[in-house]
Amino acid sequence: MPNHGTSLFAHVGSRSAAGSVASLDGPWRAIIDPYQTGYIGLTGEPTPRGWFRDFKPRTERDRIEYDFDRSMVLQVPGDWNTQHPELHYYEGTLWYRKKFTVSDPEAGRTFVHFGAVNHTCRVYLDGEELAFHQGGFGPFAVELTGRLSPGDHSLILMVDAMRTPDRVPAMRTDWFNFGGAHRSVSLVRVPDTFITSAWLTMDRDGRVVGQIECDGPNADAAEATITIAELGVQLSVPTGQRFTIAEEALGDVERWHPGRPTLYDVTFSIDGDQVTEPVGFRTLEVHGTDIVVNGEPVFLKGISLHAEGPSGGRRAAGPDDAATLLQWAQDLGANFVRLGHYQHDEAMVAEADRRGLLVWAELPVYWGIDWTNPETLENALEQTDELVLRDRCRASVALWSVANETLPGEDRTNFLRSLIDRVRELDDTRLITAALFTLPGQGIETHIDDPLGPFVDVIGVNQYYGWYYGDRDDIPNLKWSSDFNKPIIFSELGAGAKAGHHGSPTQIWTEEFQAAVYDAQIAMIANQPDCAGLSPWILKDFRTPLRALPGIQDGYNRKGLVSEEGERKLAFETLAAWYRTL
C-alpha cells in the first residue's frame, strides 16, 4: 500500500558528509487527464495498466493510448497554468514524468524530496505506486531505498489541483489555484541512520533549546554533536528529546535582530550524517500589547505577500524571486512580512533570515473549511507539521498563523484550537496568531471579542474601511479594542488601484484613491495604543479568478502597492514615507 509521504525530512540542501543531493528540476513530460483516464478503468476502480506504467508498444498492433515522449514539456519547479495557454484555468489531473539514470549501486538510503506539489499527488517509480500526499504547499519525501538499481528509472506523478469542499484550502480562495510541481524536486541520499529533523533556537526566556530526530537501525543509540565553529562551540546532546543549552556554554552570542541579522552556521552531526543550518538567536515575547524582540518593543512595519513571481503572474520559486520580492519590501521600509495565505517557498524564509525581516507564516485554513470533517482536520494537522518542522530553525519566523478570515463558531474554534495545540507541541518558542474576520462595529468603536482570542498570542485584524465598507473620512477617528490585552496587528487593509490609472482621490480604481485610503489608515493606526504593527494587503497585484472587471482587474487583485510587473503606485511612497518616520 502507498504511504502518505513523510514531512519529517526537514533538511535537503544543507546536507553534507555522507549525504548527497541531486536535482530533478528542469523539463518533465506531462499529459493532461481531465477524466483521470490514466488512473481509473471502466469499472471505476484503479486500472493496472494506468499511465503510471509508462508502457511502450511491444508490437505494431499494440494499442497504447498515451505517450509521455510525445507529450508536452513542463518546467519544474513551476506552475502548469502559466506555461501553456490551454492550462491557464485548468484544475484537474495532470501526469508528470521524469526519467533519470542511476550510474552506481545504491548505498545507504534514498528519498525523492518534493518542495511542494499542488494539491494532491500520487508518486510512482517504475510503475509502482509508492505514496500519496495531500496539501499543496508543504514539503514531503518518499523513500526509494532498494528500488534504484543502476540504469534508467521512470518517476511519475499524478497531480490533481481540483478544489473540493473537504480540502485545505477549500472551494473558494481569493488567489490563483496554481497547479503542479511548483517547487524543487531532488533525489537525496543519506546513510542508513540519518538526521530527519534538527533545530536550534532561543526560547522566550533566552534559553537555547533544540531537538535532533534520527531515523534508521541505530537511531536509538545515536549520539549527536552540535558545532558552532565561529563561537568555538562543540557540544554533545541527546537525540530524540528536547534539550537546553546553558547560555554560558555558547559564549558571546550576538543576537539576531530585525534589521541587524546575525546568523551562525550550526552543524548537527551523528555518526555518518551531518546537517548545517544558519541559525540566529533572539527572543520573542509579548508584554501586554507590545511585541518584544530581544527585550525591546518592536513595531512591525510590514507588508503582505503572495507567493507570486515579480513578473509574469506565475508562482514564485527559488532564491532569485525571493530576493526581488523582499528587496521591494525593504525599499518600502518594512521590517516584517506576512507570507499569506499558505506556506511559501523555503527560499523566501531563508532570504528573510539573511535580510533581518520578521516573518508571519500561515496555514491555508481559509474560507469554507469543513470544520466537522475529521479527515479535513487530519490533513490540516499534517500541513501544520510541514509548516512548523521545516521552518522552526529560522530566526526570522516570529508568528505562526493558523487561519485567515474564518467566521466565529464553536466548530471553527475547536478546529483551530487543535491546530494551535499542535503548533505549541512542535514549537512553543514563537508567537501564535490568526487573521480574524473582523466586521465593522457601531459608530467609530470596534471591539474584538472573537472566541479564538484567548488562545492566540497576537490578534490579527483584517479590515477594509474605505474600500468594502465605511466612509474614508471616518477612518482617522476609528477606535479598536479587545477583551484580551494582547497586541493587535492590522494584518490586512488597503484599496485597489490599476497602475497608471489616475484621477481624483474620490475616483475608485485610481492610484490617487488608493493613496488617500492609505493616508486615512495611517492616521488611524498612529492613534491605536494596542496596535503592535501592520501588514497591509498587499505588496504586488496577484492573479485571482474572483476579480473580473475588464480593463481594470482583468483577473488580478489590484490592491498591490506595485503592479503585477513591478510598477510602483502612489500608495507605495505613501506607506514608505510613514515608515521612515517610525
Range of the domain at 390: 286-581
Query: Given this model, what pLDDT does residue 9 score?
Result: 58
Domain co-membership, 257 together with 369: no
Domain co-membership, 186 together with 198: no
Domain co-membership, 457 together with 340: yes
User: Could you say which of 271, 301, 323 is where a domain stops?
Assistant: 271
Residue 459 lies in a domain: yes
Domain co-membership, 319 together with 252: no
Is 84 in a helix, a strand, or coil?
coil
Beta strands in 175-280, from DSSP E residues, in sequence order:
185-190, 194-202, 208-215, 224-228, 233-237, 243-245, 264-270, 273-279
Q: Are strands 458-462 and 264-270 parallel, antiparallel or unpaired?
A: unpaired
Domain harbouring 267, CATH code: 2.60.40
Instruction: Report pLDDT digits (tens) over 106-152.
Output: 889 999 999 999 999 999 999 999 999 999 999 999 999 999 999 99
Give the dihedral sign, CA 538/539/540/544. negative
Domain co-membership, 384 together with 314: yes
Report the 10 Å Cβ neighbour count for 240. Answer: 12
Residue 239 lies in a domain: yes
The three grid cell numbers given for residue 81, joined into one nine-digit string: 497554468
Threshold 0.85, pTM exceeds? yes
Q: What are phi and psi of 349, to 5 degrees?
A: -70, -40
User: Could you say which of 129, 156, 190 is where a domain stops?
Assistant: 190
Residue 278 lies in a domain: no
Q: What are phi and psi of 11, to 5 degrees?
A: -135, 120
Is 351 in a helix, a strand, or coil?
helix
CA max distance for the chain = 80
Exposed / middle / buried, residue 479 (Cβ in 10 Å: 0-12, 13-18, 19+): middle
Helix ranges (DSSP H) in 103-233:
none
Q: How far is CA 369 from CA 363, 411, 543, in A?
A: 12, 10, 22
Is 393 in a helix, a strand, or coil?
coil
C-alpha span between 117 and 133 (Å, rounded): 9
CB 356 within 8 A of CB 329: no
> Which amino acid is located at 113 in the chain?
H
Domain co-membership, 198 together with 186: no
Query: Given this model, what pLDDT does residue 222 score?
Result: 77
Domain co-membership, 84 together with 105: yes
Domain co-membership, 125 together with 231: no
CB 91 within 8 A of CB 179: yes
Domain co-membership, 375 together with 518: yes
Helix ranges (DSSP H) in 280-433:
318-331, 346-355, 374-391, 410-426
DSSP 193: S
Query: Given this model, what pLDDT does residue 1 score?
Result: 45
User: Could you say which of 190, 222, 255 is where a domain stops?
Assistant: 190
Going by C-alpha positions, the residue among 294, 264, 295, 262 that lies closest to residue 277 is 264
Is 158 in a helix, a strand, or coil?
strand
Residue 438 lies in a domain: yes
Domain co-membership, 104 together with 25: yes
Residue 311: beta bridge partners?
Answer: none
Give the dihedral sign, CA 78/84/89/95. negative
Exposed / middle / buried, residue 70 (Cβ in 10 Å: 0-12, 13-18, 19+): exposed
Domain co-membership, 200 together with 105: no
Residue 212 lies in a domain: yes
Residue 279 lies in a domain: no
The three grid cell numbers given for residue 183, joined into one nine-digit string: 517547487
Domain co-membership, 422 together with 507: yes
Query: Given this model, what pLDDT does residue 349 score?
Result: 98
Q: What are phi and psi of 103, to 5 degrees?
A: -100, -25
C-alpha span between 131 and 482 (Å, rounded): 46
Sheet holding 72-76, edge to edge: 72-76, 26-32, 93-102, 151-160, 120-125, 128-134
CB 349 within 8 A of CB 396: yes
Beta strands in 55-104, from DSSP E residues, in sequence order:
72-76, 93-102
Report the 10 Å Cβ neighbour count for 132. Answer: 16
Residue 3 lies in a domain: no
Query: Given this model, what pLDDT does residue 17 score?
Result: 45
Q: How far is CA 49 from CA 34, 56, 120, in A?
A: 18, 11, 21
Residue numbers in the chain where pLDDT is lower than 50:
1, 7-8, 17-18
Going by C-alpha positions, the residue among 42, 72, 38, 73 that lies closest to residue 158 is 38
Write down the residue that cell numbers 471616518 correspond to. 474
The three grid cell numbers given for residue 515, joined into one nine-digit string: 493613496
Going by C-alpha positions, the residue among 23, 322, 12, 389 that lies closest to residue 185 is 23
| Residue 558 CB partners (closer than 8 Å, separation 6+) | 496, 497, 498, 509, 541, 547, 552
Region class of 349: left (phi > 0), else alpha (psi between -120 and 50), else beta: alpha
Residue 233 lies in a domain: yes
Instruction: Report pLDDT digits (tens) over 315-353.
Output: 999 999 999 999 999 999 999 999 999 999 999 999 999
Query: Given this model, what pLDDT does residue 444 score?
Result: 85
Domain count within the chain = 3
Is 497 in a helix, a strand, or coil?
strand
Query: Given this model, what pLDDT does residue 251 score?
Result: 87
Report the 10 Å Cβ neighbour count for 333. Answer: 16
